[in-house]
Structure 1
Amino acid sequence: MRGPLRVLAVPAALAALVTGCGIRPTDVVEVGDPATVQLAPAGSPVTVLYFIGPGSPRTVLPVTRRTATVGVQESSPGPDKVLGMLFGGPSPSEEATGMWSELPDGAVTLGMDVDGAQVLIRLGSSVTRLSTLARLQLVCTAAHLSTAEAGGTRVTIRGTDGLIGPSSCPV
């Protein structure tokens, strides 16, 4: 009895695999653009900095920092102050979440010039030795500061040993 059942079970299993569950395949259905989030609307009392986030693969993630006291009218910090905040690294609470920086300690920032969708960061140190992630930190922070459309901004970094870029933020 065991033999005939086994012989019948194999064709029945194959038939189930071939017929599937009765759902017919469909084409891809377009539903629009992916969702986007504005981290710091124009005029808000926060600045967006990019640090390296935990996990794999390693990439930069935006971090918002309050730059004005609630209820106090204050303009957004200038580009030079934002660079200083970025080179200062993550705050203790940001570090506690696993954020870190690959920007070198003690690097001298000479300034940042913003002209529409073009940004030039001037450093008083080497730029060719910066890691890919350190470059992304600079490019994404500068691009976000320049415009709400960070992907459209082109950022060039000038250091004591040359130029890098122009690059845009992929995040």
Structure 2
Amino acid sequence: MRRIRAAAAGASASLLLLAGCGVQASEVVEAGGPAVVPVAPDHDERVLLFFTGPDGSSIPVARYADPAMGPVSTARTLDALLNGPTEEERAAGIRTRLPDGNKTVEVRPAAREDSRPGEKAGRPAGAREAVRVTTGFAVRSLDAAAVRQLVCTAAHAEDPEGLVKVVLTGSAGSLPATACA
């Protein structure tokens, strides 16, 4: 019985020591906004495609690109977008708002004023001119989510930060230069 009392007294003394270690209670300390982690994929290993979720919001999807095939062009990235989400992506609720049918696309890459010979074509960082994308379907009749899919996918294929504007042209005219937002 003495051992139990001694153990209990020792535990109580330890708790008192820990409780009185000098750490004072404090108010919430503001330290700025939440941490931001870039999720942009390495353009030599992955492409970034923009689809939509069930509520119509944009969902970026990074897909593996075989480095042995060389740099992935903007046209090839848009071809992957036009082929739609994979089975696994569809099972996760990812959809496309782009029309079925004619999936041809032509791209005139953005250029920047200070580009130099030997730089990676089609992906100038900080591109200033708009990339021009021509599709085989009418872009003027697309809803905002579908336009955002094309614009954001093309912008991120051209510029790692997606800062280039995109001009979409289809069978029934063009849309003004648009930034990914």
Quick check: 1:127 aligned with 2:134? no
Name the CA distance, whole Å, in 2 between partners of 1:42 and 1:77: 7
- Which ranges of 4 or more aligned residues in structure 1 deviate by more than 6 Å? 23-26
Larger Rg: 2
Distance in 2 between residues matched to 1:25 and 1:75, nearest whole Å: 51
Q: CA deviation at 1:131?
A: 1.1
1:65 counterpart residue number: 63
CA RMSD of aligned residues (A): 2.4
What is the distance in 2 between the residues matched to 1:166 and 1:136?
12
% identical aligned pairs: 28
1:53 aligns with 2:57: no
Give per-residue Cα distances to partners, 1:21-71, cap 9 Å, x unaligned.
xx9999xx573796141321242x2111110023x4x21111011121xxx
Q: How many residues are paired up?
A: 139
Equivalent in 154, 160, 166 of residue 165 of structure 2: 154
User: Helix, strand or coil for the counterpart of 1:101?
Assistant: coil
Kept in 1: contact 2:43–2:71 (CA 8 A)? no
- Partner deviation per Cα, 1:128-166 (whole Å, 9 max, x = no partner): 11111110000000011011121x210110112111121
Q: Any gaps of 5 or more consecutive residues in structure 2?
A: 1-25, 112-126
Structure that is richer in strand per residue: 1
Unpaired runs of at least 5, structure 1: 1-22
Distance 1:75 1:35 in 2: 30
Q: How far apart are the structure 1 equivalents of 2:42 and 2:96?
A: 25
1:84 corresponds in structure 2 to 79
Normalising by the residue count of structure 2, what TM-score does the alignment of the two structures yield?
0.68
* C-alpha contact 1:127 1:159 (8 A) present in aligned 2: yes
Who is 2:148 aligned against?
136
Is 2:110–2:164's contact at 8 Å kept on the other side of the alignment? no
SS at match of 2:102: coil
Q: Give deviations 1:97-152, integer Å, cap 9, x for gaps.
A: 000001000124231111133211101221111111110000000011011121x2
Mapped to 2, the partners of 1:75 and 1:39 lie a distance apart of 19
2:61 partner amino acid: V
User: Residue 51 of structure 1 contacts residue 90 of structure 1 at CA under 8 Å; is this kept in 2?
Assistant: yes
